[in-house]
Amino acid sequence: MNIPSRYIEEAVEQMASLPGVGKKTALRLVLHLLKQEESDVKRFSDAFTRMKKEVKTCSSCGNISDGEICEICLNPRRDHSVICVVEDLRDIMAIEATSSFKGIYHVLGGIISPMEGIGPSDLNIPSLLEKARTGEVHEIILALNATMEGDTTNFYLYKKLKEFPVIISTLSRGVAVGSELHYADELTLSRSIMNRMPYESNLK
């Protein structure tokens, strides 16, 4: 791609580094920004700078938040005795969109994937075990992707959690095997949450 300005070329390179953005799309976006008023471009760039500077990780569940504790964990109307374990923020957003879950979350920050060099020690597991140990948690729902890596992580968590006095459940298989949770439609995901089953039933 022959770009007659090194400044535009650098901007295109940065835009193309985003997931799912190719060079042609990046060039189109950069040329669009080039036509905008300088104040508009500044607001655009400042939004990302503020996001990177101000967004925090909830110290309780691992969700993203503008404060030390996220709004879900702070909400007294949520059932804090039921914890839904998810991989990342996208899964929380998908489940929240169904309005079917009234508990709180625990974000692992990934799933076990030997191929990518991700093991249990790389995930937010110790704090989940500590929550189960307190005796204040009634149920832990394992809501990870229906993939080999997700199932491996579910099984690892089950082995760690079964020694505690909590119900360990998982989503019903309304979410297709091999699919990622945040791609499921709201109705399917809602039914999978409402019809969740004991994790042990998957081991038979």
pLDDT higher than 80, residue 94 = yes
Rounded (5°) CA angle 14-19-23: 50
Instruction: Please give the average per-residue pLDDT across 13-21, as a whole number.
Output: 95
> pTM value?
0.81
Name 12's Cβ contacts closer than 8 Å, sequence gap at least 6: 1, 3, 23, 26, 27, 30
Q: How confident is the model at residue 86 (pLDDT cuts 50, 70, 90)?
A: very high
Mean pLDDT of the chain: 89
DSSP, residue by residue, the chain: ---S-HHHHHHHHHHHTSTT--HHHHHHHHHHHHHS-HHHHHHHHHHHHHHHHH-EE-TTT--EESSSS-HHHH-TTSEEEEEEEESSHHHHHHHHTTT---EEEEE-SS--BGGGTB-GGGSS-HHHHHHHHTS---EEEE---SSHHHHHHHHHHHHHHTTSSSEEEE--TTSPTT--GGGS-HHHHHHHHHT-EEGGGGG-
Share of the chain above pLDDT 70, in %: 90
Instruction: Please give the average per-residue pLDDT across 55-82, as a whole number.
Output: 95
Higher pLDDT pick, 190 / 38 = 38
Query: What pLDDT, on the 0 to 100 scale, is given for residue 60?
Result: 94
d(CA 164, CA 127): 14
Q: Which residues pair with 28 in a beta bridge?
A: none
In tens, the pLDDT along 133-182 reads: 998 999 999 999 888 899 899 999 999 999 999 999 988 765 544 455 65
